[in-house]
Each structure stands twice: as structure tokens, then as C-alpha cells.
């Protein structure tokens, strides 16, 4: 299994060789928590005003996503020096891709003046999720 986050988890990996039962348990636990999730991450590197882009994304993209099947959450972060990162979390890949198409339509129609450029896109299924007990 190859993840989009730069690592590989397969039957040949050291973790699988040492603890194949652990991988099964991780998958079982994620399914028990409500299923695996799918994440889209976009990194923009030439944003004039990340704060303005985030504000406009909150109202416009936020509504598009809230109306999308399988939507879980959305985050925008300021990476400094014109770098903005947007993270969209969905229940599954099909929902993520459908919503992504709608988001791209919104960006092309409403955010062209921000001259965001072409983002680096990373997308993939969540393999492990850890949450606080607090």
C-alpha cells in the first residue's frame, strides 16, 4: 500500500514483517472509529495575503464544503512568506473528489484576483489517526 504522504506501507515493509497483526489492528480501529478518511492538501506558495484568502475561503469554500456529501472538516494555515495550505477531510475518496471539483470551480470563479497560482496537491487515504483523550 503506497500513501500519498511520502511513505510506503506494504507486505515488504519492516513494520509489516515485525508486526503484521498491528497493521490489521490499525485498520480495524480506524473502521471502528467510523471508517477511513480521505484528505486533500493544497499548498500555495505565492499568496499575496493569506489572511484575505482564508477569510474569503471561509465564507465561499466553507459553504460549498458544508453542502458536500462526506465532508468532515476544512483547515487553512499560514505557512509564512506567502505560503498557504488548505486541508480538506472527507469520509471517502469519492466524496473528496466530487467536492474538490466544486471547490476548484469556486476558486476559478471567485478567487482569481488573489493570483494563487497552481498549488502542489497531495491527496490520500488516512492510514493512521491519533486523537487526544482529553
Place 35 in a pLDDT band, splitting at 50, 70 and 90. Answer: low
Mean pLDDT confidence for 15-33 = 43
Q: What is the average per-residue pLDDT within 19-27?
A: 43
Q: Does residue 133 sit within a domain?
A: no
Q: Say if CB 99 and CB 72 are below 8 A apart.
A: no
- Mean pLDDT over 101-115 rounds to 85
pLDDT tens per residue across span 43-96: 999 888 899 989 988 888 999 999 999 999 999 999 999 999 999 999 999 999
The whole-number pLDDT of residue 2 equals: 37
Average pLDDT for 106-125: 86
Same domain (yes/no): 14, 51? no
pLDDT-derived band of residue 116, with 50, 70 and 90 as boundaries? confident
Considering the domain architecture, whether residues 52 and 109 belong to the same structural domain is answered as yes
Residues 29-35: contacts with CB under 8 Å, at least 24 apart:
30/126, 30/127, 30/128, 30/129, 33/129, 34/91, 35/91, 35/92
Q: Would you say residue 74 lies in a domain?
A: yes
Q: Tell whether 93 and 54 lie within a shared domain.
A: yes
What integer pLDDT is reported at residue 33 of this predicted model?
47
**Domain range for 81:** 37-125
Number of domains in the chain: 2
List the CATH number of the domain containing 88. Answer: 3.30.70.100
Contacts of 44 (CB under 8 A, 6+ apart): 53, 83, 84, 85, 86, 116, 117, 119
The answer to whether residue 132 sits within a structural domain is no
User: For the residues 8-30, what does the mean pLDDT come to?
Assistant: 42
Distance of CA 67 to the CA centre of its chain: 17
Is 132's pLDDT higher than 50?
yes
Amino acid at each position: 500500500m503506497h500513501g500519498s504522504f511520502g511513505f510506503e506501507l506494504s507486505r515488504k515493509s519492516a513494520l509489516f514483517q515485525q508486526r503484521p497483526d498491528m497493521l490489521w489492528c490499525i485498520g480495524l480501529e480506524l473502521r471502528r472509529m467510523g471508517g477511513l478518511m480521505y484528505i486533500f492538501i493544497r499548498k500555495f506558495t505565492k499568496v499575496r495575503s493569506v489572511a484575505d484568502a482564508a477569510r474569503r475561503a471561509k465564507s465561499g469554500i466553507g459553504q460549498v464544503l458544508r453542502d458536500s456529501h462526506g465532508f468532515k472538516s476544512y483547515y487553512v494555515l499560514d505557512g509564512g512568506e506567502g505560503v498557504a495550505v488548505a486541508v480538506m477531510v472527507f469520509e471517502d475518496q469519492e466524496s473528496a473528489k466530487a467536492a474538490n471539483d466544486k471547490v476548484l470551480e469556486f476558486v476559478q470563479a471567485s478567487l482569481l484576483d488573489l493570483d494563487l497560482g497552481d498549488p502542489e496537491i497531495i491527496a490520500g487515504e488516512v492510514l493512521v489517526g491519533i486523537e487526544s483523550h482529553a
